[in-house]
Amino acid sequence: VSATARIDARAFLRVKRDGGRHDPGELEAFVLAAARGEIPDYQTSAWLMAAYLNGLADAERDALTRAVIRSGQVFDWRSLGRPTADKHSTGGVGDKISLALAPLVAACGVAVPMVSGRGLGHTGGTLDKLESIPGFRTQLDAQAMRAQLERIGVVMVGQGPELAPADGLLYALRDATSTVERPWFIVPSIVSKKIAEGAQAIVYDVKCGSGAFMKTEGDAVALARQLVDVTRAMGANAAARVTDMSQPLGVAVGNALEVREACDVLHGGGPADVRALTLELAAAMLVLAGRGEAEARAALERALDSGAAWRRWLELIVAQGGDVDAVERDQLPRAPAVVPVPAPRAGVLAAVDGFALGELIVAIGGGRRAKEDRVDPRVGAMVRRRIGDRVDAGDVLLELHLAAPDPAAVERAAAAFTIADAAVAAPPLVIASVA
């Protein structure tokens, strides 16, 4: 029995079973008790199902967020002497924005204490991408994070067990009980981890389209609104962008390929959409940290063009033990087989099934089906055509980077592209802004 008042879990369950509202303090106590192992998993999972079906009101959702934050440590970087900001993406195919964004923002004087996840399902994870750099360490303790933030203003690490541990428990139970997809569960899970990592301002990139979890603009905007509202309720500043995921972001999909593309952006190049979105989200971070919009944009362009952002990236790699030579000399791991996938007919590229493409990358070894799976950093795809492009029969739609020849993979890749007769307009990159 703990020092806190004992929870009557059965009475608590009756409230949500009957469609009632929990007292926020009681909800917080229940979740904290579950995280301490004082509520058995079978009661927690029954509550998750009741809350999945009967919903959580905003005050309950905020209490859940608060409980998950308080279940662990909360980093506090206020004594750093400079503002902190971070970015979170809901995940998409080819979304390597964080890689260039973190050193770029740091180069403009705002510290980025970025805590990221691994890929699971059809989208990649920032940690997996970073680990395609030989030697790169993603586990640092709080003291090492602080020292690095003071010195170079940026860290990119994985979530340790000290941050928001209740989220790990709740997510595992939601995953096992088919109670994942509800905004009142998703929002606390995302926001709690960002608040626990200690950033004072957070920009959310809510992906929308075939390659994202949110398929419609309405759902994506609603999620963005909630992310911003709950983040503010937890005492941090926030903004969000809803951005297009109707096709992969940029050209590269796959871990080492995406690091290479991020390097291009940090050199002032890279695909136009990747550069534009990096600047859009970085500017939003600087604005939340107190800069004017125009001043922020100018500082960011300068940092890219002057090489300051690139140098910060190399400092980050050195600080976290990565092989900086491999990055500078473009010697990241490469797949032995590069196979072109041709267009079967002439026309206009009308759609790219990002979900199918993401699943294909997992199938060829570039992602995980289970947490224990190892990821092959070399494999992936280079997407050579974008929605609205004219193609002739035989034109290369994409190149597959494979560990071994795989004709089925080529067929699956081709099937992800839809070619139409008439002209097609691609959606805008930034669909909506939520302030």
Binding positions for a copy of itself, rule: CB under 8 A: 9-11, 13-14, 17, 40-50, 52-54, 173, 175-179
Return the amino acid letter for 58: D
Quote the least distance from Cβ 139 to a copy of itself, whole Å: 29
Q: Which of 62, 128, 167, 406 is catalytic?
A: 167
Shorter beta-carbon distance to a copy of itself: residue 49 or 59: 49
Contact 409, 376 (CB under 8 A): no
Quote the least distance from Cβ 182 to a copy of itself, whole Å: 11
Shorter beta-carbon distance to a copy of itself: residue 181 or 325: 181
Clarify whether 18 is annotated catalytic: no
Q: Which of 88, 122, 241, 260 is catalytic?
A: 88
Clarify whether 167 is annotated catalytic: yes
Q: Which of 22, 66, 118, 174 is catalytic?
A: 174
Clarify whether 193 is annotated catalytic: yes
Q: Which of 118, 193, 207, 260 is catalytic?
A: 193
User: What is the C-alpha to C-alpha distance for residues 285 and 280, in angstroms, rounded to an integer?
Assistant: 9
Quote the least distance from Cβ 55 to a copy of itself, whole Å: 12
Q: Which of 45, 98, 132, 189 is catalytic?
A: 189
Quote the least distance from Cβ 46 to a copy of itself, whole Å: 4
Clarify whether 210 is annotated catalytic: no
Strands annotated E in 17-105: 86-89
* CB proximity list for 199: less than 8 A, separation 6 or greater: 77, 84, 85, 86, 112, 113, 236
Q: Give the residue carrying structure tokens 């709080």.
A: 142
Clarify whether 275 is annotated catalytic: no
Shorter beta-carbon distance to a copy of itself: residue 120 or 410: 120
Shorter beta-carbon distance to a copy of itself: residue 30 or 310: 30
* CB proximity list for 182: less than 8 A, separation 6 or greater: 51, 52, 55
User: What is the C-alpha to C-alpha distance for residues 160 and 143, in angstroms, rounded to an integer?
Assistant: 13
Closest CA relative to residue 181, chosen from 214, 207, 147, 158: 214
- Residue 294: exposure state from Cβ atoms within 10 A (0-12, 13-18, ≥19): exposed
Q: Give the residue carrying structure tokens 């839809």.
A: 418
Taking the CA of residue 114 as centre, how many other CA atoms within 13 Å lie in the half-sphere pointing to its CB? 32
Can you give the C-alpha Rg of the chain in angstroms? 22
Quote the least distance from Cβ 10 to a copy of itself, whole Å: 5
Shorter beta-carbon distance to a copy of itself: residue 19 or 336: 19
Return the amino acid letter for 217: E
Residues tagged active-site: 88, 167, 174, 189, 193
